[in-house]
Amino acid sequence: MKNQIGLEKAYADKVSEKLNDFLSNIQVAYMNVRGFHWNIAGKHFFKLHEKFEEVYDDLNEKADEVAERILMLEGKPVHAFSEYLKRAEIKEKLNVSTDQATVKELIDQILILLKHEREILALASENGDDGTADLMTGYISGQEKTIWMLNAFMK
């Protein structure tokens, strides 16, 4: 049986679950990065304050795109923070405010997102789901560049 966009329903249900896990990680990362943005202190304040805003804006856009993809697959996006916290591998980070600590946390969180993106990409590719694969491919290339840049900052 196929869904509204021509994908096998069993596959669509499976990838929707993985996308909801990914969405949960995005949402927890978003709140963490908002906290980094608000609380950053030190000599790199201006650069990091601006960078964190760029990152959380990007995460916000990704959350919307992922939720919409879940709906296209005929799934239901998770939309309660309590559910995000249960499902997410990324954990809440409180009171992180130094340049090195915030950037390290951000790198770690992006690496978790990348892991999920690569798993979803592999599953989508195996099932002829070009829409989900394309979404993940774009995310992966952008986040690999961000990690490279953040690691350069850490040196």
Instruction: Profile the chain (155 residues) by mean pLDDT over runs of 10 residues.
Output: 96 98 98 98 96 98 98 98 98 96 98 98 98 98 96 95
Q: Which domains does the chain have, with CATH numbers?
A: 9-154 (1.20.1260.10)
At 151 the pLDDT is 97
Per the DSSP assignment, residues forming a β-bridge with 2 are 8
At 145 the pLDDT is 97
Residue 93 corresponds to which tokens in the numbers above?
């980070």
Q: Helices 99-126 and 9-39: crossing angle, nearest 10°?
A: 170
**Burial call 49-65: b when 16+ CB within 10 Å, e when fewer:** eebbeebbebbeebbee
At 14 the pLDDT is 98
* DSSP code for 4: T
Task: Please give the single-letter amino acid code of residue 58.
Answer: D
Are the CB atoms for 143 and 25 separated by under 8 Å? no
- pTM assigned to the model: 0.97
Are the CB atoms for 10 and 19 separated by under 8 Å? no
CA distances from 147 to 108, 117, 122, 136 (A): 9, 15, 21, 16
